[in-house]
């Protein structure tokens, strides 16, 4: 987030300096918070100050709002530590790190059924999460569209991208940062993903691509990639266009292959040209790793790939960042080796059992309008009904009293009258924890039904709709 500079002149002295707890034992002088300290301090002072402040934050393991991994095996800590010393941008110096990255891309390309015999097979890269992956995939779509327009002598000043209003904010960033019109297909109460017909109606000659989300951030639902492909193929054929599909598999890319192997959403589907996936969500790695894979080399425009030689040798680079630690890639490769298909399947099946349990228990009360279906991400999203005497935000606050972090949010444009809550099931949740959670949700709801006055319709507290991803 963009942070503002503080005015130190008007600031109270007590706020300017760290107020230490255990670090006080080692400190001799006050240490400023907003200015570079004039003097050095011993390592234990700096360590304790930062460590003790972090202790005040929520416990990541109790965070039911996030998709991000909060626990990895201890062995991987050593690799992550080791990876901090390796710059992923430096192919010449660290060829083995680069080979490991390449193996990860291969593993994903195979997992996503990329045909190896077409144009040399798939290509891809590690990224800092799905957001960077989506910027790169979006740029490739824009460049390919422009090339086609230019070749046909057609105007190339109005590119657009078709997607549901349920896309994660990174797609809105892509559209704005890279000057592409975002054509957001509206949702409506009761429907929170796009329909193939809506996609077909929205595309035109200026459409650089269609984004289909495999695992909506809002409800966990999968968009119908195969059906979108089928209708889009007809539209393309009829008009002589070549509108491709990008699958945003930020979460679903590591869920569908193991839970729903028959769902054809990946490179088995002809128009799917690229896929992104977050290693740090169901890829079970700590934050900071994502991936983008293109079906074949020819759909990644050469102009976007830079060659540099100032680190020695000729290096290709297609990333928004240059230098970054190799830790994420090493952590991901560790998980691939350690878990294999069997391990990933066991993990996501266990998550699904818990999400099914929570969903069924909440449904059985007849009090909740469940939005996530039983073929979606392992999460439970439910809407607070119009006639409930409490809001989703009331319930979220009430659950905080028991330590649960359950976000309340409004649905995107056109369905914003619907407010929901979402519980993301991650590996740290045992059946006992799931049972406690259900009990607490039911108890909190009963208490609110008794006591809470409904807030004014349409009132959304500050900070609402901040879905943590
Ligand atoms: C569907 C979807 N796409 C993209 C993103 C952005 O992912 P990242 O946090 O890996 O950048 C998220 C985050 O939750 C998401 O749910």
Amino acid 203: pLDDT:
98
Output the CA 222–ligand 1 centroid distance in Å: 14
Output the CA 250–ligand 1 centroid distance in Å: 5
Mutate to test the pocket of ligand 1, among 65, 67, 221, 250 (most ligand atoms within 8 A of CB): 250
**d(C-alpha 449, C-alpha 193), whole Å:** 31
Output the CA 313–ligand 1 centroid distance in Å: 34
**d(C-alpha 99, C-alpha 129), whole Å:** 20
Task: Tally Cβ neighbours within 10 Å of residue 398.
Answer: 21
Output the CA 242–ligand 1 centroid distance in Å: 26
Is there an atom of ligand 1 within 6 Å of 67 CB?
yes
Output the CA 168–ligand 1 centroid distance in Å: 6
Output the CA 251–ligand 1 centroid distance in Å: 7
Amino acid 320: pLDDT:
94
Mutate to test the pocket of ligand 1, among 66, 68, 129, 132 (most ligand atoms within 8 A of CB): 129
Task: Tally Cβ neighbours within 10 Å of residue 238.
Answer: 9
Ordered domains of the chain (ranges, CATH) = 13-57 (no CATH), 79-335 (3.40.640.10)
Amino acid 452: pLDDT:
59
* Residue-by-residue pLDDT tens, the chain, 469 positions: 788 888 888 888 888 999 888 888 888 888 999 999 999 999 999 999 999 899 888 777 678 999 999 999 999 999 999 999 999 988 888 889 999 999 999 999 999 999 988 778 999 999 999 999 999 999 999 999 999 999 999 999 999 999 999 999 999 999 999 999 999 999 999 999 999 999 999 999 999 999 999 999 999 999 999 999 999 999 999 999 999 999 999 999 999 999 999 999 999 999 999 999 999 999 999 999 999 999 999 999 999 998 887 767 777 888 999 999 999 999 999 999 999 999 999 999 999 999 999 999 999 999 899 998 888 999 999 999 888 899 999 999 999 999 899 999 999 989 988 999 999 999 989 999 999 999 999 999 999 999 856 554 444 555 554 565 6
**185 and 198 Cβ atoms separated by less than 8 Å:** yes
What is the value of pTM for the model shown?
0.93
Is there an atom of ligand 1 within 6 Å of 278 CB?
yes
CA 435 to chain centre: 27
Amino acid 467: pLDDT:
65
Is there an atom of ligand 1 within 6 Å of 130 CB?
yes
Amino acid 200: pLDDT:
98
Residue whose CA is closest, atom 16 of ligand 1?
217
Amino acid 461: pLDDT:
53
**290 and 128 Cβ atoms separated by less than 8 Å:** yes
The atom of ligand 1 lying closest to the CA of 129 is 10
The atom of ligand 1 lying closest to the CA of 469 is 14
Amino acid 387: pLDDT:
87
Amino acid 241: pLDDT:
97
Output the CA 393–ligand 1 centroid distance in Å: 23
3-state SS, one letter per residue, for 55-124: CCCCCHHHECCCCCCCCCCHHHHHHHHHHCCCECCCCCCCHHHHHHHHHHHHHHHHHCCCCCCCCCCCEE
């Amino acid at each position: 987030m963009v942070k503002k500079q503080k005015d130190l002149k008007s600031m109270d002295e007590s706020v300017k300096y760290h107020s230490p707890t255990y670090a006080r034992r080692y400190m001799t002088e006050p240490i400023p918070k907003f200015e570079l300290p004039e003097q050095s301090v011993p390592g234990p002072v700096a360590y304790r100050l930062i460590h003790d402040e972090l202790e005040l934050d929520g416990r990541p393991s109790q965070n039911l709002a996030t998709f991000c991994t909060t626990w990895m095996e201890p062995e991987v800590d050593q690799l992550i530590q080791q990876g901090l010393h390796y710059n992923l941008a430096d192919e010449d110096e660290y060829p083995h790190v680069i080979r490991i990255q390449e193996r990860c891309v291969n593993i994903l390309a195979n997992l996503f059924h990329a045909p190896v015999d077409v144009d040399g097979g798939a290509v891809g890269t590690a990224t800092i999460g799905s957001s960077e992956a989506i910027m790169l995939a979006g740029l490739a779509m824009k460049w390919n569209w422009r090339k086609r327009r230019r070749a046909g002598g057609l105007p190339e000043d109005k590119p657009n991208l078709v997607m549901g209003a349920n896309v994660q904010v990174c797609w809105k960033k892509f559209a704005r940062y890279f000057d592409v019109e975002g054509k957001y297909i509206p949702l409506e109460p009761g429907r929170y993903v796009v329909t193939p017909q809506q996609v077909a109606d929205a595309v035109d000659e200026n459409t650089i691509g269609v984004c289909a989300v495999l695992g909506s951030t809002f409800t966990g639902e999968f968009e119908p990639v195969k059906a979108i492909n089928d209708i889009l193929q007809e539209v393309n054929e009829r008009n002589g266009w070549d509108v491709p599909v990008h699958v945003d598999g930020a979460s679903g890319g590591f869920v569908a292959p193991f839970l729903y192997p028959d769902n054809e959403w990946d490179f088995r589907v002809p128009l799917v040209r690229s896929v992104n996936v977050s290693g740090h969500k169901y890829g079970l790695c700590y934050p900071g790793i994502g991936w983008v894979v293109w079906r074949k080399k020819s759909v990644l425009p050469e102009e976007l790939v830079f060659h540099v030689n100032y680190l020695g040798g000729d290096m290709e680079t297609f990333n928004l960042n240059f230098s970054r630690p190799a830790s994420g890639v090493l952590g991901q490769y560790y998980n691939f080796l350690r878990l294999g298909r069997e391990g990933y399947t066991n993990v996501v099946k266990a998550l699904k059992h818990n999400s099914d349990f929570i969903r069924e228990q909440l449904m059985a009360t007849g009090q909740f309008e469940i939005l996530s279906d039983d073929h979606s991400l392992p999460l439970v999203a439910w809407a607070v009904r119009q006639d409930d005497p409490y809001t989703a935000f009331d319930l979220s606050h009430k659950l905080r009293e028991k330590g649960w972090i359950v976000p309340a949010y409004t649905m995107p444009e056109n369905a914003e009258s619907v407010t929901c809550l979402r519980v993301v099931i991650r590996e740290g949740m045992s059946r006992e924890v799931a049972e406690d959670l259900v009990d607490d949700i039911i108890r909190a709801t009963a208490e609110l039904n008794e006591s809470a006055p409904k807030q004014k319709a349409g009132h959304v507290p500050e900070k609402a709709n901040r879905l943590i991803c």
